[in-house]
Structure 1
Amino acid sequence: MKHSICPSAAGLLLVAWTCLSGVMVLSGAAAETPPILTPHFVRDVRPILSNRCFKCHGPDEEHREAGLRFDQRESATSALDSGLRAIVPAHPDDSQLIARITSTDPDLVMPPPSTMTTLSVEEKNTLAAWIAAGAEYQPHWAFVKPLRPAIPTVQRADWPKNEIDQFILARLEKENLAPSPAADKPALCRRVHLDLIGLPPTPAQLDAFLADTAVDAYEKLVDALLASPRYGERWARRWLDLARYADTNGYEKDRERTIWMYRDWVIRAINDGMPLDQFTTRQLAGDLLPNATTDDIIATGFHRNTMINEEGGIDPLEFRYLAMVDRVGTTATAWLGLTVGCAQCHTHKFDPIMHSDYFSFMALLNNIDEPEWIIPSVERSKQIAETREKIEHLWQSMPDKWPLPVPQPALDTDSTADPTAAAISATAQRSVAVAARFDEWNRQESSRAVHWQIVSPTAMVSNAPHLVCRTDGSILASGDTTKSDVYTLTLPPSDQPMRALRLEVLPDESLPGGGPGLCWYEGEKGDFFLSELEVSTAASGGAAGQRVAIVKATESFAQENNRAAAAVDGNMSSGWSTNGAMGRAHAATFQFAEPVAPGTPLSITMRFERYFACSLGCFRWSVSEATDVEARGHTADEEAILAAPVAAR
């Protein structure tokens, strides 16, 4: 069989060669000049300007020369300071762009020889032809609103089954091609199975389809496959690839992560036919929806598919930034259909994305924390309810387990005594014993109770974490952390001498592991490590503050030797930690060597330094005029009750 190029293809090749080379080939007087295609700005011209000219004459204001930019027609066609124009539409000979790119003068030619960049003959001819045709600027097709085209007419009007078929057939007829013959039923069954669910039909499914002689047999098969759970599984893979879903964290440790719930949400959304606007909203901001459901929050797992670097010694801020870069790029690719990565370093040379746009977008996505969230389930809720019921039962039965007082020798051995009376007597004895022991404990604890005054800082400064003081005086930290964080707080003056401080470290559901710390990688989740605590009187009137000496430090709980006293020993390698009891409240007290005079504000510096980020996430300060204070494990409310007179409780 002889092979030949169809006339239309040959014509296109000739036109292309003619436009690029600038040479017209004629063969005899009868030969017709092939039409010269006008260069398209987006397809042919902008790539040249972007690669050769935009660096100095593009959207980047910092590197723009002569106030000229070729990415905007108004600027490119306006008069320059010299009175000349870079582009004169329809007049390439009067356009400075053409004059400069064709100049042989090294002081005038563009791009300058120092850039080591030159335009090819083809590129110069393309620019000249474009200007000669009017130098029209067109936006990228992706930013042009699509218009519904007219339905083409076809010769074989009986072949199309829908409007899309008419476009296909019109193109085939234009190329003098005929449609392929219809597939037989076995091939059709296999193809539609692979297309919709990604799996071939089973022998039983194939036999059922072949045996179905109804006119709508194929339609029924398609409906059945669309209703199959496998349909969502197949097509979710495409989206999950775009969302960079993975079951492990990546990087060198590549540990497993628990995010399969997001994968299952995508599958369910596709199988349920969720509208695109809801599919979008739930993944980008499902947690912000009014009365957000569990599924709405799971959908935001789209943002949590970034890799997690758990290598020892990493900089958490560097990792956070890299995660944000990934998040920005993925969100833009998935939802905008744009690759915005170029604008990370400079204003995009091709797409209309400014350098500032990139980091505005990043600031939006970076303005969130990444807490762990335990997904509620029927099974988990049932287990919690059962556990609480057991706890309540044990609590109610505790008085019955209280040891009876040592029995005294019985003086009356009457065997006719009522056993019920004996039982009542035992219950009464336990009640009396419990009440007596509680009174004893109450007296002891009340005698040792200290009146603490909760104070809210008048000023807070941190090197990275964001500190917010809440109405109860507690301070919640969020945002970025480093391996060496410093909190500096100013406490208001008291109307009484201040002799001691109490630091409560508090749990909070927004913190890793429930808190009280911000640690979430390398160390235990929810841990903290207070390396050093420095207290001084606040500077005022130009005078420097004076250091307040601490002579005693106690804590209600500590991890082995990481006690409160280690936070005031001047050694940054030691400190206080409650590792092993996260998710619960603890306290530490610090006794001053000398009282701080009334009316004197305090400056407190809290230093957190470890080989991992270990700052406090939720805490509260109190002051007292008491001496010889100790942390005894009571909450602030309990301590206040014990310190109050019995009649006022």
Structure 2
Amino acid sequence: MACRLSLTLLLLMGAFRPLLAEEPASKPAFTEQQLEFFEKKIRPVFVEHCHECHSGKENEGGLLVTSRAALLKGGDSGPAIVPGQVDQGELLAALSYDPDGYQMPPAGKLSDRIIADLRTWIEQGAAWPAGEETSDAVGNEFNLAERAKHWSFQPLQRPDVPTVGNPDWCRSPIDAFLLAKLEAAKLLPAEQADRRTWLRRVSFDVTGLPPTTQELEAFLADDQPGAQERVIERLLGSPHFGERWARHWLDLVRYAESRGHEFDFDVANPWHYRDYVIRAFNADVPYDQFVAEHLAGDLLPTAEVNSSGATTGRRELVRRIDPETGRNESILGTGFWFLGEWVHSPVDIRQEEADRFDNMIDVYSRTFLALTVACARCHDHKFDPILQRDFYAMQS
């Protein structure tokens, strides 16, 4: 239960303490999904098909495609795009090989899929990262040492616990940080929740379910020290704990039981992976073991045992075998690689295969590295210390 103690502390803190709301950040002009669509579907088109003539080195017809502002301004013939208005602007007309106008790119008309993506992008407002220009990957200044200085790549530090005016209120060092923020904002902590409210909050937090009548009556009648701790241990030991918290992990790996796309056909037996994650949460599997099972669960060795039947040496990352069923749990972790969108009958088989691998890398890197490695599919990453060759090294 050691890994769950931190969760217990957070739950107790959340049930009894008010959290100081963060100051609202300025609302972005575009949604994360719109910006991701631009990075994956639109920016690569500009780089591959348009930069040779419209990137600053050359700006034929007075047109640049290196920024949203440049596209809105357009060239000698007027604005290239009008956000939300696909029937205006010169870009789509030229790409559609308008017989009465420009026909771009000169090497040949782009595929219908690319033109449809550009049309969708314009319809949705022509999302573009604020203040950013598109440029070729070649020649970009890429200082790995400087990028590696970002705070997220630094070793974790243990900060000094702040001094507060009411230290008796604090039950843990975390409380001191919360109270320091409250005091700085000249706010007082809320009153402690009553026992009935506390039980309801904790039950929903840990299992996603309300307490039963019997559980509520038993808790209200328990006036012995440690009553709350016993409730927490009971809830953490419930199978509903894994069912509740595994959902968050399944969201990270984009778990779904169908393939998406227009056919949306079923994934074969995805529940094996889903139930594996639930069992892992309920069994309190260490995170390093959990990660190893996802990345190479089929390659983990069998644990070595001595003559008495005990495992030998320090704890190793080894294959987990269910003692009751004999099932190899570790190999089931690799199931997440086979989730995701697949096209039923792709027109361009190689493109569809490349897109599937791109999706795998995107899910893997966001989930385990908190990095958007997929941004380096078409160019060196604009912010993170990731080169385009890193993407393809990982894909291989």
TM-score over 0.5 (shorter chain):
yes
> C-alpha separation between the residues in 2 aligned to 1:52 and 1:235?
37
2: CA distance, partners of 1:324 / 1:211: 57
Structure 1 residue matching 2:298: 3-state secondary structure: helix
Structure showing the higher strand proportion among its residues: 1
Classify 1:321/1:54 alpha carbon distance in 2 versus 1 (closer, same or farther; 3 Å). Answer: closer
**Residue in 2 aligned with 1:161?**
171
What's the offset of the Cα at 1:252?
2.3
- TM-superposition CA deviations, 1:154-174 (whole Å, max 9, x none): 111211011111111111112
Aligned equivalents of 1:280, 1:304: Cα separation in 2: 16
Q: CA deviation at 1:211?
A: 1.3
Return the alpha-carbon distance in structure 2 between the equivalents of residues 155 and 352 of structure 1: 43
Q: 1:229 aligns with which of 222, 226, 239?
A: 239
Match of 1:296? 330
Distance in 2, matches of 1:73 and 1:289, equals: 34
Question: Contact conserved, 1:249 with 1:307, CA < 8 A, in 2?
Answer: yes
Q: Return closer, same or farther for 1:272/1:355 CA change in 2, 3 Å cut-off.
A: same
Instruction: Summarize the alignment of residues 271-290 of structure 1 with structure 2, pairs less than 5 Å apart.
Output: 271-290=282-301
Other-structure match for 1:375: none
Q: CA deviation at 1:342?
A: 1.8
- The two structures, once aligned, show a CA RMSD in angstroms of 2.5
Q: Calculate percent identity across the aligned residue pairs.
A: 41
- Count of residues paired in the alignment: 245
2-structure distance, mates of 1:229, 1:240: 17
Deviation at 1:175, TM superposition (A): 1.7
Secondary structure at 2:202 match in 1: helix
Deviations 1:234-293 (A, max 9, x none): 100000011111112222222222110110110010111100100000011000112455
Gaps in structure 2 of 5+ consecutive residues: 1-22, 24-129, 303-318, 322-327
Counterpart residue number, 1:129: none
| Gap change, CA 1:73 and 1:241, over 3 Å in 2 | closer
Distance 2:181 2:258 in 1: 47
Aligned partner of 1:332 in structure 2 is 365
Does residue 355 of the first structure (1) align with residue 366 of the second (2)?
A: no
2:283 partner letter: D
Equivalent pair of 1:282/1:300 in contact (CA under 8 Å): yes
| Aligned residues of 1:54 and 1:349 also touching (Cα < 8 A) | no
Q: Is the 8 A contact 2:257 2:270 kept in 1?
A: yes
Q: 1:153 to 1:349 in 2, by over 3 A?
A: same
Higher helix share: 2
Return the alpha-carbon distance in structure 1 between the equivalents of residues 133 and 358 of structure 2: 28
Local SS of the residue matching 2:274: helix
Question: Is 2:274 the counterpart of 1:263?
Answer: yes
Does the CA-based 8 Å contact 1:329-1:341 persist in structure 2?
Answer: yes
- Map of 1:16-95 to 2, 5 A cutoff? 51=131, 55=135, 60=137, 62-64=138-140, 69=141
Mapping 1:607-646, distance limit 5 Å? none
Instruction: Look up the SS of the partner of 1:199 in the other structure.
Output: coil
Secondary structure, in 3 states, of the residue corresponding to 1:183? coil
Distance apart, 1:212 and its partner CA: 1.2
Question: What is the CA distance between 1:316 and its match in structure 2?
Answer: 3.8
Q: Tell me the equivalent position of 1:244.
A: 254
* Distance in structure 2 (CA, Å) of the matches to 1:355 and 1:51: 22
Q: Which has the higher contact order (CA 8 A, sep 6+)?
A: 2
Cα pair distance change 1:359/1:350, threshold 3 Å: same
Would you say the 8 A contact 2:144–2:385 is kept in 1?
A: no
Determine the structure 2 residue equivalent to 1:152.
162
Checking the alignment, whether the CA contact within 8 Å between 1:307 and 1:323 is kept in structure 2 is yes
Q: Distance in 1 between matches of 2:198 and 2:166?
A: 23
Q: 1:161, 1:198 → 2: CA distance? A: 26
Q: 1:332 to 1:138 in 2, by over 3 A?
A: closer
Is the partner of 1:161 in helix, strand or coil?
coil
Return the index of the structure with the highest Cα Rg: 1
Give the deviation of 1:70 after TM superposition.
7.9
Q: Secondary structure at the match of 1:359?
A: helix
TM-score under structure 2 normalisation?
0.58
Note if contact 2:261-2:343 (Cα within 8 Å) is conserved in structure 1.
yes
Structure-2 change in CA distance of 1:279 and 1:138 (3 Å) = closer
Which ranges in structure 1 are unaligned for 5 or more consecutive residues? 1-8, 10-49, 75-136, 364-649
**Would the aligned equivalents of 2:263 and 2:344 in 1 still touch at CA under 8 Å?**
yes
- In structure 1, distance between residues paired with 2:333 and 2:145: 43
